[in-house]
Amino acid sequence: MRTRHDPRRETTSLALIEAAESLFGSLGVEGVSTRQLAAAIGSSNTNVVAYYFGKKEALVEAVYRHRLPEIDRRRGELLGEAISMGQADDLAVLVRAFAQPLFEQTDREGRHSYARFVAAIERSGLISTRGQVEADFPETAALIQQITASLENGSASATSNEVRIRLRLAMALIVSALQIADQRDDATGETRSVFDTALAMATAGLAAPVISSKID
């Protein structure tokens, strides 16, 4: 049985996803009610979220699936360029390949809405939800694997678990920088400057020597 194409349904669904990305990014998942989400798309139906997504938590996954296909494609493209240029082991190049698509994504107001969303998900303690869709975005997984290999073989001598923690910290730095950049005057080039500074700091942090916790 074929499902009938319903443009109105798709439009409402997309509006809710974009409203969730924006509101969750500003207030956190726990700080946004389904009533607020309905109001954000101009709907008087307070059950509109339940009708389309069930619970607002399902909107978290919906935002991932809305934004990550293009981000994943772009990361694969940038990783391919790094490999073709013989820079597959260059940590700075790999970190830029990971972060550049986040810098390139902006909403209608020119803000890095997905970066704000990711930061809010981290604050809300829901970052593990990202892992639930990980298998559907292989280019990102391949890039993370390349970064991990670079760090495990480099001067940092980090284990896989340490690399995951470092990547999480680096991600937090990058998305915070993009939020700061959104408050700057892009006409002066400050947005790019803030982003490039964050990349340099994230790369240095990832490559920093492992600090032993042993007490002599």
Nearest to 180 by CA among 198, 166, 199: 198
Burial (CB < 10 A; 0-12, 13-18, 19+), residue 125, is exposed
Contact 97, 78 (CB under 8 A): yes
Q: For residues 10-24, give the mean pLDDT.
A: 95
Contact 91, 200 (CB under 8 A): no
Q: For residues 17-40, give the mean pLDDT.
A: 95
Residues sharing a CB contact under 8 Å with residue 122, sequence separation 6 or more, in sequence order: 171, 172, 175
With residues binned 3-state (H G I as helix, E B as strand, rest as coil), the percentages for the chain, rounded to 5, are 75, 0, 25
216 — pLDDT class (breaks 50, 70, 90): very low
Residues sharing a CB contact under 8 Å with residue 65, sequence separation 6 or more, in sequence order: 133, 136
Instruction: Share the mean pLDDT of the chain.
Output: 89
Query: What pLDDT, on the 0 to 100 scale, is given for residue 5?
Result: 47
Instruction: Check whether 104 has a pLDDT greater than 50.
Output: yes
Instruction: Check whether 211 has a pLDDT greater than 90.
Output: no
Locate 130 and state its tokens. Answer: 């990202």
pTM score, whole prediction? 0.88
Instruction: Check whether 154 has a pLDDT greater than 70.
Output: no
Query: What pLDDT, on the 0 to 100 scale, is given for residue 159?
Result: 72
Instruction: Check whether 125 has a pLDDT greater than 70.
Output: yes
**Alpha carbons 174 and 110: distance in angstroms, whole number:** 17
**Alpha carbons 179 and 171: distance in angstroms, whole number:** 12
Nearest to 152 by CA among 79, 210, 75, 86: 210
Q: For residues 11-36, give the mean pLDDT.
A: 95
Least confident of 1-10, 49-58, 65-74, 115-124: 1-10
Residue 108: phi, psi to the nearest 5? -65, -25
Nearest to 101 by CA among 91, 111, 115, 90: 115
Could you say which DSSP state residue 107 is in?
Answer: -
